[in-house]
Every structure is written in structure tokens, then in C-alpha cells.
Amino acid sequence: MHALLIALAITAVVYALFVCVLLVVGRRTAAKELALLLPNLILLFKGLARDPRVPRGSKLLLVFGALWFASPIDLIPEFIPVLGPLDDAVVAALILRHLIRSAGAEVVAAHWRGEPGTLDRLLRLSNEHPQDEPASLP
């Protein structure tokens, strides 16, 4: 348990440092999106898990996603710039892709608390929105 807490603390520090680096190099919007991505995904998954419009099988994927984000063990370590958070984003995008197909884009958008542009980027990553068309989510 002690090792898990240390791993979580190290991950949080690296995450915060990466956000600070983005701020220092003038990437304020990217820093804000990155800083709020995980909390927004957790809130999204929590809201979708409670929504009766979401099928039961999809709710199991939401639980898997929440456990994935909370786990300090990643396919790509978080301390690797840019690539570190990528596995979390890919897992989130795949789960969102499934949820949009099973529950609908309106349901997902209704629970998203972050910037609409961030959700659009995640959906593009999951190929739910073509690159040249703007997303139709509110």
C-alpha cells in the first residue's frame, strides 16, 4: 500500500510539472486542458455510470476506465513528455467511442464538464468525428 501511495504521488508531481512546462513555454490552453483532462474524465465517467440511458455493458467499461486512470501502472510511464498521458487518452477515447455508439453523443455531451474542444479532440482521436468536420456536440 505504501508503494502505491508513493507511485501515485510521483505520478501527480510529474503530471503537475508537465503542466507547468506547458505554461512556461506559452501553451496556456494546452496546459489547462491537460490539467483538467483527468478530473473531467472522472466526472464524465461518474455521470455516465449513473445515467439510465447508458447500457449495463457500457457501464462496466466505465468502471474499467476509472480503474485504468486511477492505476499508477501505465503502458507508457507518465514521466515521458507528451507520450506519458497518451495511453490514458487512448483508453478514454475508445471508451467514449463505444459510449457514443451505444448511448449516443448527446448523452456523452450532457455529462461533459470541460471545454467542448477537449471532448472534440478526444472524439477525433477515437475517429468519431472526421478531421475536417467540426463536432456537433454542444
How does residue 132 score in pLDDT terms, banded at 50, 70 and 90? very low
Q: For residue 42, give its domain range.
A: 2-125
pLDDT at 68: 81
The verdict on residue 22 lying in a domain is: yes
Model confidence at 127, pLDDT cuts 50, 70, 90, reads: low
Over the stretch 12-30, which tens digit does the pLDDT of each residue have? 676 677 677 777 888 777 7
How far, CA to CA in Å, does 125 sit from each of 11, 57, 90, 119? Answer: 24, 22, 7, 10
51 domain residue, yes or no = yes
What total number of domains does the chain contain? 1
Residue 110's contacts (CB-CB under 8 Å, 6 or more residues apart) are 47
The answer to whether residue 130 sits within a structural domain is no
In a domain, 53, yes or no: yes
Residue 35: pLDDT above 90?
Answer: no
Q: Is residue 78 part of a domain?
A: yes
In a domain, 110, yes or no: yes
**Spatial distance between the Cα atoms of 64 and 51, rounded to a whole number of angstroms:** 17
Out of 30-44, 73-87, 110-124, pick the least confident: 73-87
